[in-house]
Amino acid sequence: MEKKAVLFDLDNTLYDYEIPHRKALKAVHAELKKKIDISFVKFKRLYDLSKGEIHRELSGLASSHNRVIYFQRLIEKTHNTVDPAMILRLYSVYWDSLLKNAKLSDGVLETLKEIKKRGLRIGIVTDLTTHIQLRKIQSLGITRHVDVLVSSEEAGSEKPHAIMFLLALNKLDLSPHEVVFVGDNSTNDIEGANAVRMDSVLIKHGPLAKDVEEDYRKPNFVISKISEVLNILDGTL
């Protein structure tokens, strides 16, 4: 059956997260260093420790990705108390830097425009909080191309939980066989899309560490660049 919509993951699918993330951490360290003498190595170790603790404590919840909680935990370690002004400042510095440096991957905007030109709808299904993902959509300049957004905060669970994908289908008022899902993660994206019987597309930014052996994590299609989604829609891939 002809597809009527394409769903995308956001981070590391439509833009490269790692480079702006590293720049954002550098900016946060520079801000913190104005108040205390701390090396970047020590700062990064405490940040990773705080992030790991939050992930264990809030596993499966959107709040496990909330940087303000990471920075709260970090400041509690460095200051042995809560400093609301500092925590909120680090949070703002991080996201202002990341959004400034985040750029759409090659071919993304052209592909989104072509999908819309063909009369298909576009959705984003993403972990993390709604507020931050809305800011990313605005900053990346793709607002006019996105019809629906589902965040793990809204759904109450993270990918690959089926509720993320089912909520997107409900918003689109479409059946799974009418939708293609595109993501970069075999577990979070492909397993979740497969579970609700959508056609799944894995975008590889490099060679996979190993072949995916589990059937429920095998994508229907593997692409190396986002524009190849159009070939899938044409039935030529």
Domains of the chain: which residue ranges? 5-15+103-234, 18-101
Would you place residue 208 in the very low, low, confident or very high pLDDT band (cuts 50, 70, 90)?
low
Task: Give tens-digit pLDDT for 185-196.
Answer: 999 999 999 999
Lowest mean pLDDT among 59-63, 77-81, 141-145: 59-63
Q: Is the peptide bond before 176 cis (omega within 30 degrees of 0)?
A: no
Q: Is the dihedral of CA 35, 36, 39, 43 positive or negative?
A: negative
Query: Among the options 11, 127, 189, 199, which is catalytic?
Result: 11
Would you place residue 209 in the very low, low, confident or very high pLDDT band (cuts 50, 70, 90)?
very low
Assess whether 37 carries a catalytic annotation: no
Indicate the CATH number for domain 5-15+103-234: 3.40.50.1000
Would you place residue 72 in the very low, low, confident or very high pLDDT band (cuts 50, 70, 90)?
very high
Q: Which residue has the tokens 């059937």?
A: 215
3-state secondary structure labels for all residues of 204-236: CCCCCCCCCCCHHHCCCEEECCCCHHHHHHHCC
What's the predicted TM-score (pTM) here?
0.91
Assess whether 211 carries a catalytic annotation: no
Lowest mean pLDDT among 42-51, 68-77, 151-160, 203-212: 203-212
Phi-psi region of 200 (alpha: psi -120 to 50; beta: other; left: phi over 0): beta
Query: Among the options 9, 127, 189, 199, which is catalytic?
Result: 9
